[in-house]
Structure 1
Amino acid sequence: MDLSTLLTAARTRCGVTVTSKKRALECLSEQLMADTDADPDTTRSIFEGLIVRERLGSTGLGRGVALPHTRSPDIEQPRAALLRLAEPIDFDAADRRPVDLLFALLVPEHSNDEHLRILSRLAEMFRDEALCAGLRACQSDQDLYDSVCGWRSGAPDG
């Protein structure tokens, strides 16, 4: 999976300050549309989709990582946003540890298999302790973007 097809430097932020899960999801919804001319209603709809998904169960993977995701009829291709928080927040993760790495995925409404395939690869990626440690050490948006896009797994398509 080539992350540069999902994520752009414009949708990557390092050292973000938020104080709650709700504010983090709001920030992610804004970042998901940061490099588009989307109207505020689209961004609000994405935020609401992320909230609805979190009500089904936390997307906190554990070890300080969360993968919030939702669908949208307003996009043609999957897109992502990445935040590294300045301070970890409670995200209701299964391991009860606070989250400081949030990778949000937005997929077209009709995308089913692709959505699951991407989430599976992202979960694999964020299980990589060396990657997560490297992301936490990043000092700029560009470093964060370069670090995550430079990740390669041992899998043939990674």
Structure 2
Amino acid sequence: MSDTSLTIENILAPELTLCRAPASSKKRVLEFIAEQVNQQDASLSDTQIFNNLISRERLGSTGIGQGIAIPHCRLEGLERVVGVLLTLEEGVGFDAIDNQPVDLVFALIVPKEATSEHLELLSQLAEKFNDRGFCNQLRQCTDAQSLYSRMLNSNS
């Protein structure tokens, strides 16, 4: 698969787009992401995903500011990139660079080998989330379907 074909459309499934998810802490958000991925694909260990996400956070928070976090990790044995988009019921502390609570989360779980694709996706996401109007639109969604289509149809 060439780097150019890896887009948000290709990695985000409607089943992994969740609106107003309940989460009381950063740890709980990461657990929730791992559980959701495991529900969609039982061959992927939620414990391992959670541990890998936590390890990555220990290197530095993935809270990029303005209420947004892009937690990500690599996973042994993964064949494709998995994206998870969440809006949270209420903001949680994420040790973000601006210390703002996070309520918009896009998680990326990538194969152990995927490096350039991984970075390319992170920059695509960061660019999208840099658009404050777009982020506000995502936050206003009240159901997963509208959240999913809004994420995909943002041609910013």
Unaligned runs of 5+ in 1: 154-158
Assess if the C-alpha contact under 8 Å between 1:72 and 1:107 holds in 2.
yes
Matches for 1:115-126 after TM superposition, within 5 Å: 115-126=118-129
Equivalent residue, structure 1, for 2:95: 92
Q: Which of 17, 22, 25 lines up with 1:17 in the alignment?
A: 22
Equivalent residue, structure 1, for 2:3: none
3-state DSSP of counterpart to 1:85: strand
Q: CA deviation at 1:37?
A: 2.7
Gap change, CA 1:2 and 1:111, over 3 Å in 2:
closer
Equivalent residue, structure 2, for 1:79: 82
Assess if the C-alpha contact under 8 Å between 2:8 and 2:121 holds in 1.
no
Assess if the C-alpha contact under 8 Å between 1:2 and 1:149 holds in 2.
no
Counterpart AA for 2:30: L
Q: CA deviation at 1:2?
A: 3.4
Equivalent residue, structure 2, for 1:141: 144
User: For residues 97 and 54 of structure 2, what CA distance do their matches in structure 1 show?
Assistant: 17
Assess if the C-alpha contact under 8 Å between 1:32 and 1:106 holds in 2.
no
Equivalent residue, structure 2, for 1:37: 42
Equivalent residue, structure 2, for 1:156: none
Counterpart AA for 2:96: A
Assess if the C-alpha contact under 8 Å between 2:7 and 2:121 holds in 1.
no
CA RMSD of aligned residues (A): 1.2
Equivalent residue, structure 2, for 1:67: 70
Q: Which of 118, 126, 130 lines up with 1:127 in the alignment?
A: 130
User: For residues 72 and 151 of structure 1, what CA distance do their matches in structure 2 show?
Assistant: 28
Unaligned runs of 5+ in 2: 1-5
Q: CA deviation at 1:128?
A: 0.9
Assess if the C-alpha contact under 8 Å between 1:29 and 1:44 holds in 2.
yes
Tell me whether 1:8 sits opposite 2:8 in the alignment. Answer: no
Aligned residues: 151
What do residues 103-157 of structure 1 show as CA deviations (whole Å, max 9, x unaligned)? 000110011111111111111111111110000000001111111111113xxxx
3-state DSSP of counterpart to 2:110: strand
3-state DSSP of counterpart to 2:98: coil
